[in-house]
Amino acid sequence: MNTVMHKIVEEGNTQSLQKVKTDEEVKKLPRRDIDGGWAWVVLLASYGAMFISSVTIYSGGLFYIVWLGKYKESETKTSLIGSLSISMVCLLGTGTAFIIIPVSIVVGYYFSKKRNTVLSMLTVCAAFGMFVSTPTTSFFLDKFGMTVTFIALAALQCQICITAVICKPSNLETKCNKKTKEFLHRAKSKSKYLRHCVKWLSIFNIFNNISFVLFLLSTVAWNLSQSVVLIHLPHFIKVNKFGDMHIYLAMCTFSICNALGRLLSALTAGKGGLDGILIHFGSLGIISVVSMTFPLYSDIPAGSYFLAGVTGFYTGAPNALMTPIAVDIAGIEHLATSSGLCYFASGIGYLIGPPLAGL
C-alpha cells in the first residue's frame, strides 16, 4: 500500500502538480477568449460583481453604531457581529465568498499578459464600492431603519446573479481542471482511499512554500488593522462627541484613500515598476507605526481623519496586490487554492481584530 501510494504521489508531483507554463499553454489555446474577446466581457462583469459586493461588506462600521444602541451590549460582544459578518465570508466560504473569490479566479485565467494588472484593478472596484457604501448605507439607516437597509442591500446583492451567468470558465481554466481530473481518475483506479489522500496532498502541497506561508501571516496582520478601523472608528468618533458628520467624513476619507492606494499599487507594481513584495511589507510597516501612535493624537478630530486616511491608503496597497503576489509565489496552477487561502487569512484578521480592540 505504501509503495503504491508513494508512486501515485510521486507521479502527481511530477505531472499533475507541476507548474503550468502559462505562456506556452496560452499559445496553444484559441485566442478568442484569452486576453481579448469574451475576456473583456467577463472582466466587466467581474468588476461589477466586486463593486456590488463591497457596498455590503464595508457597511459594518455604520451598522455597528446601530447595533450598540439596539442590543445594549458591550463593545467587544457587539463588534463580533461586524467581524463575523466579514470573517465568516472568508473562513467558511459562504455568502459573498461565492463572489469575491470566484471572480478573482475567473479573471486570472482569462488574462495572461496583463494578469497582475487586471487582478489588482479588481480590488480597485471594491474600493469604489466601499466609497459608495458609506453615504448609501447612512441614508437608508437614517430614513428607513436597519431592517429596510438590510433588505435593500440584499436586493442589490441579487443583481450579481447576472454577472455570474457571464463568468463562464475559460479554455485555460478548463484545461487545468481537466489535468487535475485525469490525475485523480488514475488515482481512483488504484484505491478510493488513495484518491482522497492524493487530492488533499495536492491541495496542501502549497504549504511547503515557506514564502507563501509568511505572506499569509502578513495578510492576517493588515486585515486585522483594517477591520479595527472600519468597525471601531465610527463609534470612537461618536463617543468623543465629534459629531455624526465627522463619522461620515472619516469613512469617506478611508474609502477615497483606500481606492487611491489600490489604484496606484495596481499601476506601479509589476514588470518595469516597483516590486510588489516591497510595497506590501512597506505598507504594513507604515500601518503599524500609525496605529501604535494613535493614542498620541486621538483627542483631536483631525487625528481620526489621519488614521482613516493613512490606514485606508496603506491597506489598499496590499489588498490590490494580494492575489497577484499569491500567484507569483505559488504559481498559476495554484491560483484557486492560493486565492482562497488569502481570503481565509483575511477572514482570520477580521475575526480577531474588532473583538481584540474592544477589550
Phi, psi of 112 (to 5 degrees): -120, -55
Q: How far apart are the C-alpha atoms of 202 and 249, rounded to whole Å?
A: 47
User: Residue 289 pLDDT > 60, yes or no?
Assistant: yes
> Residue 31 gets which letter from DSSP?
G
- For residue 102, the model assigns a pLDDT of 80
- For residue 306, the model assigns a pLDDT of 92
Q: How far apart are the C-alpha atoms of 193 and 9, rounded to whole Å?
A: 13
Cβ(172)–Cβ(26) below 8 Å: yes
Q: Which grid cell sits at 7? A: 508512486
Cβ(326)–Cβ(342) below 8 Å: yes
Strand, helix or coil for residue 12 = helix
User: Residue 10 pLDDT > 60, yes or no?
Assistant: no
Q: How far apart are the C-alpha atoms of 48 and 36, rounded to whole Å?
A: 18
User: Residue 28 pLDDT > 60, yes or no?
Assistant: no
Summarised one tens digit per residue, pLDDT across range 36-77 is 788 888 888 888 888 888 887 777 667 767 777 777 766 666
Terminal-to-terminal C-alpha distance of the chain = 53
Mean pLDDT value of segment 198-223? 80
Domain ranges of the chain: 19-171+207-357
Q: pTM here?
A: 0.67
- For residue 4, the model assigns a pLDDT of 39
Q: How far apart are the C-alpha atoms of 195 and 185, rounded to whole Å?
A: 8
Output the average pLDDT for the chain: 75
- For residue 184, the model assigns a pLDDT of 55
Who wins on pLDDT, 28 or 176?
A: 176
Sole residue written with cell 500601518? 287
Share of the chain above pLDDT 70, in %: 71
Q: How confident is the model at residue 310 (pLDDT cuts 50, 70, 90)?
A: very high
Kindly report which listed range (26-35, 65-74, 138-147, 169-178) carries the lowest average pLDDT score.
26-35
Task: Count other Cβ atoms within 10 Å, centred on residue 161.
Answer: 9
- For residue 21, the model assigns a pLDDT of 45
- For residue 345, the model assigns a pLDDT of 86
Q: Which grid cell sits at 325? A: 503576489
Tell me the C-alpha to C-alpha distance, in Å, between residue 10 and each of 5, 187, 229.
8, 12, 47
> Residue 207 gets which letter from DSSP?
G
Mean pLDDT value of segment 311-331? 86
Summarised one tens digit per residue, pLDDT across range 234-263 is 778 877 766 667 777 888 888 888 888 888
Q: How confident is the model at residue 5 (pLDDT cuts 50, 70, 90)?
A: very low
Q: How confident is the model at residue 286 (pLDDT cuts 50, 70, 90)?
A: very high
User: Residue 26 pLDDT > 50, yes or no?
Assistant: no
